[in-house]
Chains A and B, each alone.
Chain A
Amino acid sequence: DQQVKQNSPSLSVQEGRISILNCDYTNSMFDYFLWYKKYPAEGPTFLISISSIKDKNEDGRFTVFLNKSAKHLSLHIVPSQPGDSAVYFCAAGGSNYKLTFGKGTLLTVNP
C-alpha cells in the first residue's frame, strides 16, 4: 500500500518557467510533509517542509502548497534553473518520526 504517491515519474521544463511537482497521500494522520532533492550517488537534500496545519510555505524560489481535503501537496519552483535538475521526493511524517517517501519525480530544466 503506497501511502505517498508521486504519479509523474518525470517532468521537463524550460529555464525561467515554473516547475510544479505533485504528490498525493492517503494517510490523514500525517503531521508534516517535506520535499527533498536528490542527485545521483548522493543523499537527499532537504528543501522545504510544511506542517499539516498550514496550506502554504515559501522559501526563496520554492513554495509548497498543501490541500488537506484533497490529500495533495505540490512544490512550485519559480523560476526554474538548470541546476534544479534532479530527482525530487516528497515525504510525509507523523508522530513516530518515520518518513514515508514517494518514488520521486525526475525534473529536467532545459537551458
Chain B
Amino acid sequence: KAGVTQTPRYLIKTRGQQVTLSCSPISGHRSVSWYQQTPGQGLQFLFEYFSETQRNKGNFPGRFSGRQFSNSRSEMNVSTLELGDSALYLCASRRRGVEAETQYFGPGTRLLVL
C-alpha cells in the first residue's frame, strides 16, 4: 500500500505571496491532519479534516486554511506569506491501531519564504 504523498516537496516563495500544498492520504484513510515543523517550535498541529469537514484546528492565524476533497485528498493554503512561515509542512493520515489512533506521515513539503 502506498504511503502518504505530498507535493511539491520543495517550494520557494516571497513574502506576501500565497501557496497551496497537496496531500494524498494512504488509500482507505479518511482523516488528514496537517502539522508545521520549525526548529524552535517542533511539530505543531494545524488542522484535521475528515470526510471533507474540518474537525479540529490548532492555534494558527486565519491565513492558514485547508480543505479536503471527496477522494480524501487534502490541500493546505497559506495566504500573505511571512518569513516565519518557512517550515516543513507535514500531513498525516490516520487509522485505528491496536493501541492507538495512529497517524502516518508523508515526507513533507519544505517551504522557504524569502
| Chain A residues close to B by CB (< 8 Å) | 31-34, 36, 41-46, 49-51, 54, 57, 89, 91, 93, 96-104
Contacts and interface: CB of A to CB of B under 8 A. Distances in A.
7 contacts: A49-B97, A51-B99, A51-B100, A91-B43, A97-B55, A100-B45, A102-B42
A46 B101 contact: no
Given A42-B108, A43-B105, A89-B43, A98 B56 contact: yes
Interface string B54-68: 011010000000000
- Sorting the interface of chain B by its residue count into under 10, 10 to 19, 20 to 34 or 35 or more gives 20 to 34
9 smallest CB-CB distances across A and B, nearest first, come from A32-B100, A43-B105, A49-B100, A101-B43, A103-B42, A49-B99, A51-B99, A44-B105, A43-B107
Interface in B38-90: 42-45, 48, 55-56, 58, 88, 90
Majority SS at the chain A contact face: strand
Contact of A43 (B44, B45, B108): B108
Contacts of A101: 35, 42-44
Contacts of A57: 99
Select the residue from A31, A43, A44, A49 with max chain B CB neighbours within 10 A. Answer: A43
Contacts of A91: 43
Nearest to A4: B42
B106 interface: yes
A22 to B, nearest CB: 16
